[in-house]
Structures are given as structure tokens and as C-alpha cells.
Amino acid sequence: MGLIGVIAQHGYAIVAIVMFLAAAGLPLPTSIVLLGAGAAAHNGLKLDIIFPLAWASAVLGDTLLYFGGRYTGWWLLAGMCRFSINPEACIFSSSAYFYRRGSKTLLFAKWVPGLASMAAPLAGSLNMKFSRFFRLDAAGNLFYVSVWVTAGYLFSRFLNEIMGWIQRVGHAFLLIGALLVAGYAVSIVVFSIRARKYNKIDKISAANLQERLQNLHPDKLVIIADVRSHGYYDPGMQRIKNSIRVEPTRLKEELIALREFMAPECEIYLYCSCIRDTTSKRVAHMLEQENCKTQVIDGGLKAWVKAGGELELVPLADIQHLPRFE
């Protein structure tokens, strides 16, 4: 039984589940399912049920992510990008797209890979009013669903022929799919190999650093640098007390200012809030290329908080004031 036959038999449930889970962040082929649902309308499914069901499921999934972004800020976005090769790039490419185009991004977000599941939590994290979000998101989903379902209904004959052809050359498609999976696996391996150069970076536990600071000679210069990306900052966020801001995306410029504080006996400690201290290690490696000896706080800000370290609010001057929909 082909895809269209499966959808014709279990159509309503498949459409609702796929649209909801895809809106909630899972990488599912919504366009193919909607095409199949439209084509299956010739085999028993009713368009007057498919349209509102698909639309409502997508809007419900987006609404959940909207409130997730509203109440968790960037934490949800970081979680959604956690398994990407470069989580930081995943977040900022989507957010930059949203920031440049504003709230109308919701009208076409479903058509942009990656942005489809990121737009709703971004709208929530930027404090867009729910009424405005719902209006734009509902319109965008209605357009998306209408185009694909209508195309499936109008071109059902061609879809059946395509599905038949796919079944005949199924082994070739499996091979292509396997190659794509293998390519992704290779990219992960290459990324991991490149990251090995960071394994030699010196680390220090939060508890050991606190003990070291307590027993520090008054004349000893110590710099604790916060290298988290600006985009992770929400109003009211905290950092290690007396730490300074070092922007990892413009490190060369930051080095010019940082060298004014540095002396041969200066101690520099870096921390971030990402998985496996990736950003801290990367910055430490770059600083070592400039003959600046550093150590990374193992576990970053979370480890510091867990060890009972002192905190302070992030100064307003260090917060990137992102557009907010008040």
C-alpha cells in the first residue's frame, strides 16, 4: 500500500499527528503528508475535514512553542538546537532571520527550513502579544496547508504515478537516504575530530577556583571572562560576580581591550553556559594562539552556581537589546 493509500485509510489521524508534532519541533515531512491527504480526498477523505484539522493541529503545536518561548526564553531554543552540529549557529541564524523581518515572519515561516519550528518560540521570547501571534500564525498556517492540500488534490494522478515510480526504484532511494545519513554522520565525526584540539585546554573546577580566589594575594590580577553569546541574555540574567564581558564573535577586537588588563602574571578564567563548555574552549584556544594563557571553568555558570559562587545581574550595557513586541 502506497503513501496515498495509507493516508486514505488512516488519513485524519496521520494528518493531525504529523502537523502537531512537526509544529512542536520534530523534523517530519508535513508537505508530503499534506500532498498525500489532498490526493487521498479522491479516495474517501473529506477536504472540509482535512483543511481545518491540519490547520488546527499546526496552530496548536505552534501555540505550545509560543508559550514555551514566552516563559523559558532562550532555554527552549537552546534545547531545540541541542542536537545540531552547531547549536549556536542554529539559534542565531533563525533569530537573525526573525529580527530582520519582524512579526510578519510568521506568515511564511513554514516555508523556510529550520525557521518553521523556531519562529513560534522566538515570537514568545520576544514578548509578542498572543493575539498578534495567533492572528499571524493562523494566517501563515492556513496558507501553507491550503497550498499543499490543494496541490495534492489537483495533481493526485501525477502523485500516484510518482509514488508508483518511487516504489519501483525504492532501492535507489534507500541508497540515497543511506548516503545522506552517512554524510551527516561523517560531518559529526569531522566536527568531533576538529574539536579534539580543545581537549588540551586547561580546566579548573568551580570549587577550586572559589578556594583559589579566597586565598589570592591582593596584588594578584585575576580576570573572569563571561564568553556567553549576547543572544542568550534575557533581562534579569546573572553572571559570576566581578566577571567581565568578552564577546566570542568579535574576539580580535575584544583582545585589544583585554590586553590593557593583562600582565605576565595575570590569571584568566573563562566560562559559558553551553554543552561541554564548547564556547569557552574555543575562545581559550584562540587566546592561546595569541599567547594568552587561560583556564576554562569546568561546567560553566551552572557549576559555579552549584558550588555556591557569588553572582550579579548582567549590566544593561552588556545586554543586546533585541526587538520586543510590547
Residues 122-145 pLDDT 10s: 888 777 889 989 999 999 999 999
Residue 304, pLDDT above cutoff 90: yes
160 with 166: CB under 8 angstroms? Answer: no
**What pairing do the DSSP bridges indicate for beta strands 238-240 and 311-313?**
antiparallel
**Closest C-alpha to 59, from 8, 114, 119:** 119
CA 21: distance to chain centroid?
A: 16
Alpha-carbon span 122 to 112, nearest angstrom: 15
Alpha-carbon span 197 to 220, nearest angstrom: 30
pLDDT band at 1 (very low <50, low <70, confident <90, very high): very low
Alpha-carbon span 114 to 101, nearest angstrom: 16
Strand spans (E) along the chain: 203-204, 222-226, 238-240, 244-245, 267-271, 294-297, 311-313
CA–CA distances in Å: residue 1 to residues 15, 150, 164, 247 = 17, 23, 10, 55
Q: Indicate the average pLDDT of the chain.
A: 76
- Please tell me which residue, 259 or 216, carries the higher pLDDT value: 216
Q: What is the mean pLDDT of residues 68-91?
A: 63
Residues 12-33 pLDDT 10s: 888 888 888 888 777 777 888 8
- Please tell me which residue, 10 or 72, carries the higher pLDDT value: 72
What is the CATH number that goes with domain 203-318?
3.40.250.10
What is the pLDDT at residue 186? 73
242 with 295: CB under 8 angstroms? Answer: no
Residue 273, pLDDT above cutoff 70: yes
Q: What is the mean pLDDT of residues 201-223?
A: 85
41 with 98: CB under 8 angstroms? Answer: no
pLDDT band at 307 (very low <50, low <70, confident <90, very high): very high
Alpha-carbon span 211 to 96, nearest angstrom: 41
Q: Domain spans of the chain?
A: 3-191, 203-318
What is the pLDDT at residue 325? 57
Alpha-carbon span 153 to 51, nearest angstrom: 12
| Separate counts of helices (H) and strands (E) for the chain | 14, 7
**Residue 101 dihedral angles phi and psi, to the nearest 5°:** -105, -10
Residues 175-184 pLDDT 10s: 666 676 677 6
pLDDT band at 166 (very low <50, low <70, confident <90, very high): very low
Residue 141, all three cell numbers? 498556517
Is 217 exposed, middle or buried, given 0-12, 13-18 or 19+ CB atoms closer than 10 A?
Answer: exposed
Residues 154-165 pLDDT 10s: 887 776 555 554
**Residue owning grid cell 499527528:** 17
Tell me the three state secondary structure of residue 205.
coil
What is the pLDDT at residue 259? 62
Residue 298, all three cell numbers? 569546568
What is the pLDDT at residue 111? 87
50 with 12: CB under 8 angstroms? Answer: yes
Alpha-carbon span 18 to 190, nearest angstrom: 33
- Please tell me which residue, 270 or 75, carries the higher pLDDT value: 270
What is the pLDDT at residue 142? 95
Within 8 A by CB and 6+ apart from 293, the residues are: 268
Q: What is the mean pLDDT of residues 263-292?
A: 78
Alpha-carbon span 98 to 106, nearest angstrom: 9
What is the pLDDT at residue 324? 58
Within 8 A by CB and 6+ apart from 153, the residues are: 38, 39, 41, 42, 47
Residues 222-250 pLDDT 10s: 889 888 765 555 567 788 998 888 876 66
Please tell me the least confidently modeled range out of 40-44, 62-66, 108-112, 257-261.
Answer: 257-261
Residue 148, pLDDT above cutoff 80: yes
278 with 272: CB under 8 angstroms? Answer: yes
- Please tell me which residue, 113 or 132, carries the higher pLDDT value: 132
What is the pLDDT at residue 216? 78
Residue 157 pairs in a beta bridge with none
**Residue 78 dihedral angles phi and psi, to the nearest 5°:** -60, -40
The DSSP-derived string for 284-306 is HHHHHHTT--EEEETTHHHHHHH
